[in-house]
Structure 1
């Protein structure tokens, strides 16, 4: 397996776990880490044996405490635009549209680019010590990795406006009440809960799940009719081996063994 400097990629049967491993920097995202994350997600997504990916941070303090500000403090307008565009394409949009489901296990601070990374995942589970926020306006800038777009779609426009304008943090229970995370658990049980959810997902058709991701995401794209995408994806499922196996297993009253094709 490829060696990375800033992350750890592990596989346990049909589950891949990506850990951002910069504990001394509270797992802050720099350009090298973003590139390594892209490579790891691409590798995991291309492996048909992997059904679910979990992403988390090393240590007990932070998922990702933000972007590495020292890298872009002296950027020009042109460089700033390029930074946001490249980051969104390489990692954040890439994860959102990945065909393999991605669960963010938020094990501490998820701030700025860290919260944007968690929001790009298909859903989020947090430990009870987690704190989340987009503090960019306190630095004279705005979220640039999709935060102004994904946060309102998850928590509503008013709450997103307040979170971004105040640059404040919310705790895990507030995030749960907002709908920003799906579950809150203790730090000790975070991994096992995410693995339990991943296990439930992996029993189902990976082909159908990929189709569902495309259909759900279509609703949030300008100029795209999500209902039409759903109809197309629904119909396409009928031509898959997973559909044949799923319906046959149901009629034969047995557990489906999906080939993933």
Structure 2
């Protein structure tokens, strides 16, 4: 059954915070859910610094809105949920582009998804690769289209996530699976992801958002205070990984501009196999 809902896109509900004009994402309200969509389908919904900054603002908007009881995170189109950092942008400029803060605040985005006291549901509509895979892993719940694919790409393109993206992933799928995902950089179908406990449910593509909405509507019938304490309780067991994440982001800042890190981005943009071995500095 298709869920019945009302949609608000231009402004927040009466008494709620104003919705700014976003460029890389869209934000809307359906019933008691905020739907945040990464809207860069031409780049397979890869994120640049501006995208990350807008996502943080959108999550804080949903956080401040008392009418929102759950958040749905998804990607525009049918091909991609999110493919992580925009490697083409890195190849072009050596970074992830400009932002208002002057920083690439992916670590803050991860923290915001965990800290917002409302469940975040990933509606994975296509490939969730690299940093996009990390985003869905960090969400409280994940619902996948039957056409979705999952995996990591960091070691293939000169990047890594040694914080939540690896340590927290191991909590979900186990050490052996997590190491396989990172070391081999393969793609896994939705059925495999469900079998491994990486997603909660798999539905047909035309049912994805309706299914996510129905889950959000069920959450909205529960006590917001109880849900908030439950989310914080679940997070407490892994909050120490935030320290690892901060260290990993600092390391990634240095690695990304190294000859080895840039080789991955440049090779990706040039559509050739990278030659990492010749670029390694130290052992």
TM-score bucket of the superposed structures, by smaller chain:
0.7 to 0.9
The answer for the alignment partner of 1:149 in structure 2 is: 167
What is the aligned counterpart of 1:163 among 181, 190, 209?
Answer: 181
Tell me whether 137-146 or 37-46 shows the greater mean CA deviation. Answer: 137-146
Query: Retained in 2: the 8 A contact 1:127–1:187?
Result: yes
The answer to whether the Cα contact below 8 Å between 1:93 and 1:120 also exists between their aligned partners in 2 is no
Partner of 1:26: 44
Distance change in 2, residues 1:154/1:47 (3 Å): same
Aligned pairs (5 A) from 1:72-111: 72-73=90-91, 74=94, 86-88=105-107, 90-111=108-129
Residue 243 of structure 1 is matched in structure 2 by none
After TM superposition, give the deviation of residue 11 of structure 1 in Å.
0.6
TM-score (norm 1): 0.78
Q: 1:221 aligns with which of 233, 239, 260?
A: 239
SS at 1:41 equivalent? helix
Structure 1 stretches of 4+ moved >4 Å: none
Separation (CA, whole Å) in 2 of partners of 1:51 and 1:176: 25
* Stretch deviating more after TM superposition (200-209 or 11-20): 11-20
Report deviation, 1:35. 0.2
Q: 2:221 aligns with which of 164, 183, 203?
A: 203
Counterpart CA distance in 2 for 1:189 and 1:156 is 29
- Aligned residue pair count: 215
Flag structure 2 segments of 5+ consecutive residues without an equivalent: 1-18, 96-101, 242-283
- The answer to whether the 8 A contact 1:92-1:145 is kept is no
The 1-side partners of 2:103 and 2:21 are apart by 25
Contact 1:134–1:147 (CA under 8 A) maintained in structure 2: no
1:36 is matched with 54
Ranked by relative contact order (alpha carbons within 8 Å, sequence separation 6 or more), the top structure is 2
The match for 1:172 among 190, 196, 214 is 190
Q: Deviation of residue 145 (structure 1)?
A: 6.4
Preserved CA contact (<8 Å) 1:134 1:143: no
> Which secondary structure does the structure 2 equivalent of 1:3 belong to?
coil
Contact 1:126/1:172 (<8 A) preserved: yes
